[in-house]
Amino acid sequence: MKKQFLVATAVSLALVGVLSGCGGKEEEASAGAASTAATASAGAAASPEASKAPAPKAVELTNVSYDPTRELYEAYNKSFADYWKQKTGQTVTVKQSHGGSGSQARKVVDGLEADVVTLALAFDIDSIVESGQIKAGWQSELKDNSSPYTSTIVFLVKKGNPKGIKDWDDLVKPGISVITPNPKTSGGARWNYLAAWAYAREKNNGDEAAAKEFVTKLFKNVPVLDSGARGSTTTFVEKGIGDVLIAWENEAYLSLKEFEGKFEIVNPSISILAEPPVAIVDKVAEKRGTAEVAKAYLEYLYTEAGQEIAAQNFYRPRLESVAKKYADKFPTIKLVTIDKDFGGWTEAQKTHFADNGIFDQIYKPSK
């Protein structure tokens, strides 16, 4: 590098000498320009990077998510960071926060700064809208009501299914210990509860009173209510409490993977279409200047790469090409929907899970 600089400097001085001999001010100005150009050329030759634009400033996102998405977003965040770096040259890191969906939403309302939320159900994001941090109409910002993947509710039992669990009716039998999280704090628990309610209501020809009695019996068989779905999984698969775990499908398959040969899945005759939604927390993203990358982060969930990662982590992909590829991994189950069968999340929350709602009426903690 030193040798290049000396050569370039010599060339510059020679040019100045020749042009000065011509005696005009215009020529002197030209000589100065030539000298500057030569020096700049030398600098460029010495350091090729000098001609490149500076790299964009690194950016950090915070994704506040629900309990069982830890493995999903660990893989997804790495993939998105690579994609974004290649596309823009910008380094992005993503901090994760996990817990029961309802609890996570309340933390955001109370001041936990999230650029994006990826929660278990729409009502939890709507509660953040009410705080003024997310704009109304958020579900129309992305495809499929801003739910890039789906799941459902299944049963996880010990290998060999020693209690003979086949359907929801078996969960209300005397002596059966059922593990499920608390619907007051967990989004997954609310899906569990509504799937059980839908089964009982259909079995009893639409009788809501019969459905209430059925779910009351079910919760009498629940010895402990963890605050989130991952906590309930730990209670069942690691602590060995309970005969059956009512679980997110993806969480059940993850348990099969991590505890090979110890558990098996039972698919009920009726379950519910769970549609976990995502949204930008507009107030925080605008404050931090992360709105562009936050939007790209959520949009990437809908790409083939994002959908592959979802499927590999046992979420049902929306993209048809990926869904076909993994079709044999996800059994066909009769599914009710929150909108058609429960009037949407606002109505379901008010009826079943709000203070003094049906859940508060039927659940009496064990003493």
- Mutual orientation of helices 208-220 and 187-203 as an angle, nearest 10°? 130
Question: Both 163 and 264 in a single domain?
Answer: yes
pLDDT in tens, 117-148: 999 999 999 999 999 999 999 999 999 999 99
Q: What is the average per-residue pLDDT within 64-92? A: 97
Question: Both 41 and 23 in a single domain?
Answer: yes
Predicted pLDDT of residue 25:
37
Question: Both 227 and 311 in a single domain?
Answer: no
As given in the structure block, the two tokens for residue 94 are: 């993503």
In a domain, 112, yes or no: yes
CATH number at residue 212: 3.40.190.10
In a domain, 247, yes or no: yes
Question: Both 346 and 218 in a single domain?
Answer: yes
Predicted pLDDT of residue 43:
43
91 has a pLDDT exceeding 90: yes
Predicted pLDDT of residue 31:
37
Question: Both 168 and 257 in a single domain?
Answer: yes
Predicted pLDDT of residue 6:
34
pLDDT in tens, 28-75: 333 343 343 444 444 444 445 545 667 789 999 999 999 999 999 999
Q: What is the average per-residue pLDDT within 293-316? A: 98
In a domain, 299, yes or no: yes
Predicted pLDDT of residue 30:
37
Predicted pLDDT of residue 19:
35
Of 212, 128, 225, 240, whose CA–CA distance to 179 is shortest? 225
Question: Who's near 55: CB < 8 A, 6+ residues apart?
Answer: 89, 90, 91
Structural domains in the chain (count): 3
5 has a pLDDT exceeding 60: no
9 has a pLDDT exceeding 50: no
As given in the structure block, the two tokens for residue 164 are: 């003979």
Structural domain boundaries enclosing 238? 153-272+337-362
* pLDDT averaged over every residue in the chain: 89
Question: Both 207 and 345 in a single domain?
Answer: yes
Question: Both 69 and 175 in a single domain?
Answer: no
Number of Cβ atoms within 10 Å of the Cβ of 33: 11
Predicted pLDDT of residue 104:
97
CA angle 138, 281, 354 (to 5 degrees): 70
Question: Both 356 and 207 in a single domain?
Answer: yes
Question: Both 289 and 312 in a single domain?
Answer: yes
Question: Who's near 28: CB < 8 A, 6+ residues apart?
Answer: 19, 20
What is the percent of the chain where pLDDT is above 90? 84
pTM to 2 decimal places: 0.84
Number of Cβ atoms within 10 Å of the Cβ of 229: 30
In a domain, 261, yes or no: yes
Question: Who's near 98: CB < 8 A, 6+ residues apart?
Answer: 65, 66, 67, 69, 70, 104, 228, 230
In a domain, 343, yes or no: yes
In a domain, 46, yes or no: yes
Predicted pLDDT of residue 367:
59
Question: Both 203 and 266 in a single domain?
Answer: yes
What letter does residue 315 receive in the DSSP assignment?
A: P
Q: What is the average per-residue pLDDT within 294-320? A: 98
pLDDT in tens, 215-240: 999 999 999 999 999 999 999 999 99
Question: Both 179 and 39 in a single domain?
Answer: no
Question: Both 121 and 249 in a single domain?
Answer: no
Predicted pLDDT of residue 56:
87
In a domain, 367, yes or no: no
If pLDDT is split at 50, 70 and 90, which confidence band does 364 have?
confident
Q: What is the average per-residue pLDDT within 286-313? A: 98
Q: What is the 3-state secondary structure (H, E, C) of 44-62?
A: HHHCHHHHCCCCCCCEEEE
